[in-house]
Structure 1
Amino acid sequence: MPEYRYYTCDVFTRERFGGNPLAVVPDARGLDTGAMQALAREFNYSETTFVLPSAGDCTHSVRIFTPSVEVPFAGHPNVGTAFMLAELGAVEWDADAALVRFEEKAGTVPVRLERDQRGGVFCELTAPESLSLGPEVPIEEVASAVGLDAGDVVTTVHPPRVASVGLPFVVAEIASRAALARAAPDIRAMQALRARGVTPDVHLYTREAGEFDLHTRMFAPLDGVPEDPATGSANSALIGLLGQVDPAPSGQWRWRIAQGVDMGRPSELFGSVEKAAGEVSAVRVGGYSVPVFTGTFSW
Structure 2
Amino acid sequence: MISRLSVTIVRACLRGGAGGSPTAVLDEVPLSDGERRRVPVLAGTSHAVFVSVRGSEVSLRFFTAEGELPACGHGTVAALAYLADRSGGAEHRGTLRAAGRSFAGWAVRKGARFRAVFEPGPVELREPTPDECAHVLPPLGITPDAIVQGARVASAGRARLLVPVASRTELAALAPDFEGLRAACDRFGLLGCYVYSAPEHSGRLAARMFAPSIGVPEDIANANSTACLAADLAERGITEIAVDMGDSLGSPATITASARPVLRLGGTAEVAVPVRELGL
TM-score (norm 2): 0.87
1:21 equivalent in structure 2 = 22
- Offset, 1:216: 0.5
Using the TM superposition, name which of 175-184 and 97-106 deviates more. Answer: 97-106
* Structure 2: distance between partners of 1:115 and 1:87: 8
2:8 equivalent in structure 1 = 7
Cα 1:148–1:41 change in 2 (3 A) is same
Select 2:249's aligned residue among 263, 282, 287: 263
Select 2:214's aligned residue among 214, 219, 223: 223
2:31 equivalent in structure 1 = 31
* Structure 1: distance between partners of 2:5 and 2:185: 39
- Offset, 1:119: 4.9
2:270 equivalent in structure 1 = 290
- Offset, 1:147: 1.7
- Secondary structure of 1:258's match? strand
- Offset, 1:152: 4.1
Q: 8 Å contact 2:212–2:218 — kept in the other structure?
A: yes
Amino acid in the other structure paired with 1:188: G
- Secondary structure of 1:101's match? strand
| Equivalences for residues 191-206 of structure 1 within 5 A | 191-195=183-187, 197-206=188-197
Alpha-carbon displacement from aligned partner over 1:178-199 (angstroms, at most 9, x marks no partner): 110111332224413422x240
Q: How many residues align?
A: 275
Cα 1:211–1:99 change in 2 (3 A) is same
The runs of 5 or more residues in structure 1 that have no matched partner are: 276-281
- Offset, 1:149: 3.4
Using the TM superposition, name which of 136-145 and 72-81 deviates more. Answer: 136-145
Q: Does 1:130 align with 2:122?
A: yes
The runs of 5 or more residues in structure 2 that have no matched partner are: none
- Secondary structure of 1:88's match? helix
| Equivalences for residues 62-77 of structure 1 within 5 A | 62-77=60-75
* Structure 2: distance between partners of 1:145 and 1:228: 17
Identity, in percent, stands at 24
Select 2:99's aligned residue among 105, 110, 131: 105
Amino acid in the other structure paired with 2:113: G
- Greater relative contact order (CA < 8 Å, ≥ 6 in sequence): 2
Root mean square deviation of aligned Cα:
2.5
* Structure 1: distance between partners of 2:279 and 2:185: 40
Using the TM superposition, name which of 214-223 and 145-154 deviates more. Answer: 145-154
Alpha-carbon displacement from aligned partner over 1:187-232 (angstroms, at most 9, x marks no partner): 224413422x240500011125488611110000121001001101
Amino acid in the other structure paired with 2:119: T
Q: Does 1:233 align with 2:224?
A: yes
- Offset, 1:175: 1.4
Stretches of 4+ moved more than 6 A in 1?
A: none
Amino acid in the other structure paired with 1:225: V
2:80 equivalent in structure 1 = 82
- Secondary structure of 2:231's match? helix
Cα 1:182–1:137 change in 2 (3 A) is farther
2:58 equivalent in structure 1 = 60
